[in-house]
């Protein structure tokens, strides 16, 4: 996987400051790729990592924030319990 040219990809082991907005990319328990922002105002589900990263890079560019790759299950609040 190539790093993004403008937003910086970070690993979940070094989370950014809580007040900063950032895009989170990871898989959920159903192995779908999830993209959401740290404020839970943005969220999307994808079948492939490439599609998820493409969306995350575009949104990070628009929002002017970074991207965090999360290894643990990432869930959207609206999909929990389904």
Select from 56, 72, 57, 62 the least CA-distant residue to 11. Answer: 72
Which pLDDT tens digit goes with each residue over 3-52? 444 455 555 555 555 578 999 999 999 999 999 999 989 999 999 999 99
Alpha carbon 77 to chain centroid distance? 14
pLDDT the model gives residue 35: 97
What ranges do the domains of the chain cover? 9-79
pTM above 0.85, yes or no: no
Token pair listed for 27: 């898989």
pLDDT (mean) for 61-72: 94
pLDDT the model gives residue 3: 44
pLDDT the model gives residue 46: 97
């Amino acid at each position: 996987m190539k790093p993004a040219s403008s937003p910086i990809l970070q690993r979940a082991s070094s989370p950014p400051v809580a007040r900063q907005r950032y895009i989170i990319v990871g898989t959920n328990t159903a192995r779908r790729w999830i993209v959401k922002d740290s404020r839970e105002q943005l969220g999307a589900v994808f079948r492939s990592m490439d599609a998820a990263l493409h969306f995350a890079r575009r949104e990070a560019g628009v929002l002017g924030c970074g991207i965090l790759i999360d290894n643990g299950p990432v869930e959207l609040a609206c999909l929990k319990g389904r």
